[in-house]
Amino acid sequence: MRQLATKHNWIGGQWVPSSNGETREVRNPSNTDEVVGVVAWSTEKEIAAAAEAAQEALPAWKKLAGPARARILAKAAQILAGRLEEVATLLSREQGKPIGEARGEVQRGVDLLQYYAGEGWRSVGDVIPSASADTLMFTVREPLGVVAVITPWNFPVAIPLWKSAPALIYGNTVVLKPAADAPLTALAIAEVFAEAGMPPGVFNVVTGPGSKLGDALINHEAVKAVTFTGSNAVGSHIAQLAAARGIKYQLEMGGKNAAIVLADADLDKAADIVVSGAMRFAGQKCTATSRAIVERKVIDAFAEKVVERVRALPVRPATDEEAYLGPVVNQSQREKILQYIETGKGEGRLVAGGGTPQGELYAKGYFVEPTVFVDVLPDATIAQEEIFGPVLALIPAESPEHAIEIANGVRYGLSASLFTNDLTAALRYIREIEVGMVRVNAETAGVELQAPFGGYKASSSYSREQGRAAIEFFTQVKTVAIMPAGGP
Ligand code: NAD
């Protein structure tokens, strides 16, 4: 078999191997016989080198005019667009996202780069009327310094870019530590920035073991902020490290997103959208629909429609154009999901899926059948905990108010949707639902990059990403007052 060349870390504008020479294979979760690539399995030394390179690059990058930084991001957008098919295929092979969605994600990356290139031309402060008529008072937003970007495996183009692009455009430098399950895509982003003319050290990527590298990065004295997306367990650990050092932090974490279906809803349309939200990318989106809370009088009819659709879903290797869902990302994730399904069998009635698909096509991948439970109680384990797999729980509700109460009865608060034609019910839901992203007659997953993204409760650290909200995290405000030298 052909030996694949190791992809090294991108540090200070150079490809740098791990100092201990260690590497790791990245295997295709659709077919684990296939080695997609080999990456450096780095140490704290490479983290320190990256943080120092970012620190060194900071003064010149910070000093550049916004439009000059914008030109580099715009160029990166153009280069990524030119590599869309190649990067989408890599992403699909590396972490099992169906190829159609992988293309959509790379296009999202292009759009994010374009959007934040535009930010380089926009205002970074306000003029404020002073109490003294001769005084010019204004604010200016300045970068924080070196920013640590720690990302999950599920959106390996979009999430690193929706964090790095705003960090960079506002004048920060970046060390990206991608998830161990999707390092190759992150290194492709480094190639794109390098080709776009990003000065050495402004953007760095170090691959390797999450906990060791993550901790070393947050604890490095050059790092002034950390932006994290991932699980709650790791997020709260990061918050503690960041608080102990007094650096700024931002956490986007888990979800247990509900779709509420009221009796007057178009049940066919709602079933299409709920199935899509629950099953696309095998439910591995933080905004995936994992509970459908349905008014009791229509729950049987709705369940029938959902089950009919779920049974017909094409489960395929991720690069197959037909794939609606592919595998889950790795063996431990599959075991965890199957364990939840076992628990669910004691908590509700299994009406679709419930195991692993059989046949040669699935023999070497981490596939899980799209699974549906009905008659689930709101406090069941599968109705409370984030499963992060293709598992949907249908929960009956006695009224629209009861449905909102159930939807709010979890620790998370990322996104929710409501299906109805009743404007009054929709307005009440918008007021009372405890989530950061509220949808009406739309999927819980699927957000737009120009709008704030983030959750309530345990889903977030009260911060928001994307759109104009990004400026809040990636900058600090300086208030300036200028008075005539001789006094008024
Ligand atoms: P994870 O928490 O296991 O890992 C996230 C990142 O943290 C990875 O880069 C990992 O290597 C790193 N890490 C692990 N241990 C660390 C430590 N001790 N210190 C510092 N960094 C460490 O999450 P995951 O399994 O990659 O992703 C799935 C999770 O991400 C789910 O809970 C999902 O809901 C969440 N997620 C949330 C959003 C959102 O925007 N709210 C988006 C996507 C995914």
Tens of pLDDT, residue by residue over 27-64, are 999 999 999 999 999 999 999 999 999 999 999 999 99
Closest atom, ligand 1, to C-alpha of 210: 11
* Contact call for residues 110 and 81 (beta carbons, < 8 A): yes
**How far is the centre of ligand 1, averaged over its atoms, from the C-alpha of 172 (Å)?**
22
Residue 2 pLDDT: 61
Is residue 151 lining ligand 1, measured as CB closer than 6 Å?
yes
Q: Which residues fall within 8 angstroms of residue 58, CB to CB, at 6 or more apart? A: 143, 145, 146, 172, 173
Edge to edge, the sheet with strand 371-374 lists: 349-352, 371-374, 391-397, 289-295, 257-261, 415-419, 437-440
Q: Write out the two tokens for 314.
A: 């094409």
On whether both 360 and 219 belong to a single domain, the answer is no
Is residue 286 annotated as a catalytic residue, yes or no?
Answer: yes
1 is a domain residue: no
Is residue 252 annotated as a catalytic residue, yes or no?
Answer: yes
One-letter amino acid for residue 103 of the chain: R
Check pLDDT > 70 for residue 358. Answer: yes
Q: Which residues make beta-bridge pairs with 225?
A: 147, 248
On whether both 329 and 383 belong to a single domain, the answer is yes
Tens of pLDDT, residue by residue over 294-330, are 999 999 999 999 999 999 999 999 999 999 999 999 9
On whether both 74 and 218 belong to a single domain, the answer is yes
DSSP code for 142: E
283 is a domain residue: yes
**How far is the centre of ligand 1, averaged over its atoms, from the C-alpha of 481 (Å)?**
42
Which whole number is the average pLDDT over 237-266?
A: 98
On whether both 176 and 61 belong to a single domain, the answer is yes
Among candidate residues 103, 34, 239, 162, the one with its CA nearest the CA of residue 451? 162
452 is a domain residue: no
199 is a domain residue: yes
Is residue 177 lining ligand 1, measured as CB closer than 6 Å?
yes
One-letter amino acid for residue 459 of the chain: S
Range of the domain at 166: 6-253+460-478
389 is a domain residue: yes
Q: Whose CA is nearest to atom 18 of ligand 1?
A: 211
DSSP code for 120: T
On whether both 231 and 314 belong to a single domain, the answer is no
**How far is the centre of ligand 1, averaged over its atoms, from the C-alpha of 296 (Å)?**
36
On whether both 33 and 94 belong to a single domain, the answer is yes
On whether both 215 and 268 belong to a single domain, the answer is no
Check pLDDT > 70 for residue 461. Answer: yes
Closest atom, ligand 1, to C-alpha of 230: 30
Using a 10 angstrom Cβ sphere, with 0-12 exposed, 13-18 middle and 19 or more buried, the burial of residue 332 is exposed
The mean pLDDT value of the chain amounts to 97
Q: How many domains does the chain have?
A: 2
On whether both 232 and 268 belong to a single domain, the answer is no
- Strands, E, within 253-348: which ranges? 257-261, 289-295
* Contact call for residues 94 and 185 (beta carbons, < 8 A): yes
On whether both 142 and 224 belong to a single domain, the answer is yes
Q: pTM for the complete prediction?
A: 0.97
Among candidate residues 195, 187, 199, 228, the one with its CA nearest the CA of residue 211? 228
Quote the CA–CA distance of 194 and 76 in Å, as a whole number: 9
Give the CATH number, domain containing residue 286.
Answer: 3.40.309.10
Tens of pLDDT, residue by residue over 133-166, are 999 999 999 999 999 999 999 999 999 999 999 9
On whether both 89 and 166 belong to a single domain, the answer is yes
486 is a domain residue: no
Which whole number is the average pLDDT over 201-220?
A: 97
Task: State the catalytic residue, choosing from 94, 119, 286, 443.
Answer: 286
**How far is the centre of ligand 1, averaged over its atoms, from the C-alpha of 82 (Å)?**
29
On whether both 424 and 330 belong to a single domain, the answer is yes
On whether both 16 and 155 belong to a single domain, the answer is yes
Which whole number is the average pLDDT over 226-254?
A: 98
pLDDT band (50, 70, 90) for residue 4: confident
Check pLDDT > 60 for residue 1. Answer: no
**How far is the centre of ligand 1, averaged over its atoms, from the C-alpha of 232 (Å)?**
8
DSSP code for 3: P
Which whole number is the average pLDDT over 62-71?
A: 98
Tens of pLDDT, residue by residue over 163-209, are 999 999 999 999 999 999 999 999 999 999 999 999 999 999 999 99
* Contact call for residues 105 and 154 (beta carbons, < 8 A): no
Give the CATH number, domain containing residue 22.
Answer: 3.40.605.10
Is residue 208 lining ligand 1, measured as CB closer than 6 Å?
no
* Contact call for residues 416 and 438 (beta carbons, < 8 A): yes
231 is a domain residue: yes
Q: Whose CA is nearest to atom 31 of ligand 1?
A: 231
